[in-house]
């Protein structure tokens, strides 16, 4: 009997230690209803709400320091800080007692609603009859500022340089910092297919340690630049943009850092912001500011055949993406998710060149496809008389066939890593057109055209892992 009573007491203690989820509590901020996910909880008579969602609903920017386990909310000149587990909070550096400490539950950080609401100059009321919390605060709209003042955000906008596995630069785009810990917003296509990256800010370069958030379909990525105390921009509300509103774009077109251009919003359609501020290749991932100096979009595309027909992704999509749990994705992880087309470009960026016997040999293109049986087919080619095929032949004549075999082995190994447990077959072709009959090639490789010329498709190399064994044949 004592055991049963002890067991009941233990169960009771455990149950009372669990937080009570306040799913029925309604939260209204300046008359607008908010539904939080996860739902608020009640602990020691205090309502705790999800950190990021509540701070942003109050119009504040929020930052998390993983080392100190401290959350910081910034709204104008007001700074609110809470540390996980501490019954003491800080408002503009002044300590204040808390009725309940901030805490982490199931990977989500919860903060005391009343303390934060009042710290951000809100009037907080609870209606016991309707189980409703209302918060009202005076919304202040930032004043419009000059283009010169907006351009000062250059200090938080930089270039992103992407490198292949050999450390060679293969891509360049733009990016901008949104917090002091190094979160850099850019376009996904800027980092697609690279092995490493650097963020260039002014005269300094910072290693990109990983990807915190990304959405390949919406072309958004939030990177982690290794460093601290970075300058950062202020994010605006892209849902409130209006056609005709002045905008300023800051990015790194064609590799020229921090170029500023001015225009207007010309349309908002299909979930994208169209604007007239000039941009160019390399501007992808740049910041589009409104006339209050707030970022409202990520510049990502321009119609080269048109005049100032440029597009930006609304910044609210970045905010929505960052409501989820931050990840620690590597560039290798992203590579494993590539489409066949993107992986073919990766091979071209990393394996199209080899220096053999002091000769630079270049393959002109790669393609990757899948057979009906699920086998992976890799094709590459020398194309035309100006290609490196003559150097390829010189290497073979000089007895350096082994060096070319090693090159093909490296390609095969990379493909195996991308497509594990798949049968792979690949070939390198020489493709050209001749005015006279090309007797040097087998008749099966020659096709006569209506204009009397001859097309040649000659297999120069073959490689496979069929049967679990590597085989490379050089012709």
Quote the distance between the C-alpha of residue 30 and its chain's center.
33
Q: pLDDT by residue (tens digit) across 9-33? A: 443 343 344 455 544 678 889 888 8
Give the helix/strand (H/E) hosting 415: helix 401-418
**Has residue 8 got a pLDDT over 60?**
no
Helices 340-351 and 401-418: angle between axes, nearest 10 degrees: 150
What pLDDT does 10 receive? 41
What pLDDT does 322 receive? 85
Higher pLDDT, 317 or 142: 317
φ, ψ of residue 321 to 5 degrees: the values are: -60, -40
* Residue 141 tokens, joined: 């709209």
Could you tell me what percent of the chain has a pLDDT over 70?
94
Could you tell me what percent of the chain has a pLDDT over 90?
57
Task: List beta partners, residue 222.
Answer: 185, 213
Most confident of 122-126, 261-265, 331-335: 261-265
| Pairing label, strands 32-34, 26-29 | antiparallel
Q: Is 415 exposed, middle or buried (0-12, 13-18, 19+ CB in 10 A)?
A: buried
DSSP string, 353-373: EEEETTEEEE--EEEEEE-TT
pLDDT band at 413 (very low <50, low <70, confident <90, very high): very high
Residue 319: left if φ>0, alpha if ψ -120 to 50, beta else—which one? alpha
**Strand, helix or coil at 351?**
helix
| Whether the bond into 56 is cis, omega within 30 of 0 | no
Mean predicted confidence (pLDDT) in 466-475 = 92
255-259, 376-380, 411-415, range with the lowest pLDDT: 255-259
**Has residue 147 got a pLDDT over 90?**
yes
pLDDT band at 140 (very low <50, low <70, confident <90, very high): low
> Cα 219–210–328 angle (5° rounding)?
95
What pLDDT does 240 receive? 87
**Has residue 443 got a pLDDT over 80?**
yes
Q: pLDDT by residue (tens digit) across 176-228? A: 999 888 999 999 999 998 999 999 999 999 999 999 999 999 999 999 999 98
Mean predicted confidence (pLDDT) in 349-366 = 91
**Has residue 332 got a pLDDT over 50?**
yes
What pLDDT does 257 receive? 87
Q: Average model confidence (pLDDT) for the chain? A: 88
Q: Is 356 exposed, middle or buried (0-12, 13-18, 19+ CB in 10 A)?
A: buried
């Amino acid at each position: 009997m004592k055991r049963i009573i002890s067991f009941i007491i233990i169960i009771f203690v455990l149950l009372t230690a669990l937080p009570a989820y306040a799913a029925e509590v309604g939260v209204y901020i300046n008359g607008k209803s908010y539904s939080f996910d996860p739902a608020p909880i009640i602990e020691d008579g205090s309502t705790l709400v999800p950190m990021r969602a509540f701070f942003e609903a109050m119009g504040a920017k929020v930052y998390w320091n993983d080392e100190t386990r401290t959350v910081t909310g910034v709204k104008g000149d007001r700074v609110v800080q809470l540390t996980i587990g501490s019954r003491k909070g800080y408002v503009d550096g002044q300590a204040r007692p808390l009725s309940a400490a901030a805490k982490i539950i199931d990977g989500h950080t919860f903060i005391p609603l009343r303390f934060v609401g009042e710290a951000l100059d809100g009037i907080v009321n609870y209606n016991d009859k309707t189980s409703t919390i209302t918060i009202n605060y005076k919304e202040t709209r930032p004043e419009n500022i000059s283009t010169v003042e907006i351009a000062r955000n250059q200090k938080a906008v930089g270039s992103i340089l992407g490198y292949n596995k050999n450390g060679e630069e293969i891509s360049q785009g733009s990016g901008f910092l949104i917090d002091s810990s190094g979160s850099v917003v850019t376009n996904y296509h800027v980092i697609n297919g690279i092995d490493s990256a650097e963020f260039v800010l002014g005269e300094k370069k910072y290693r990109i340690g990983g990807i915190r958030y990304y959405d390949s379909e919406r072309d958004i990525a939030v990177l982690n630049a290794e460093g601290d105390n970075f300058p950062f921009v202020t994010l605006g509300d892209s849902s409130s943009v209006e056609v005709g509103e002045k905008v300023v774009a800051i990015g790194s077109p064609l590799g020229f850092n921090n170029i500023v251009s001015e225009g207007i919003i010309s349309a908002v359609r299909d979930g994208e912001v169209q604007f007239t501020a000039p941009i160019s290749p390399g501007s992808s991932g740049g910041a589009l500011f409104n006339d209050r100096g707030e970022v409202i979009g990520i510049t990502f595309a321009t119609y080269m055949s048109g005049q100032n027909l440029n597009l930006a992704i609304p910044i609210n999509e970045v905010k929505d993406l960052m409501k989820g749990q931050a990840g620690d994705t590597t560039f290798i992880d992203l590579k494993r998710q590539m489409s066949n087309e993107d992986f073919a470009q990766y091979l071209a960026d990393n394996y199209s060149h080899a220096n053999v016997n002091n000769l630079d040999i270049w393959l002109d293109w790669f393609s990757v496809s899948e057979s009906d049986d699920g086998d992976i087919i890799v094709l590459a080619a020398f194309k035309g008389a100006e290609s490196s095929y003559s150097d390829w032949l010189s290497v073979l004549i000089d007895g350096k066939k082994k060096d070319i075999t090693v090159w093909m082995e490296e390609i095969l190994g990379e493909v195996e890593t991308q497509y594990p447990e798949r049968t792979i077959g690949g070939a390198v072709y020489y493709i050209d057109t001749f005015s006279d009959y090309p007797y040097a090639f087998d008749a099966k490789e020659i096709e006569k055209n209506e204009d009397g010329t001859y097309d040649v498709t000659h297999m120069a190399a073959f490689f496979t892992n069929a049967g679990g064994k590597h085989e490379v044949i050089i012709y």
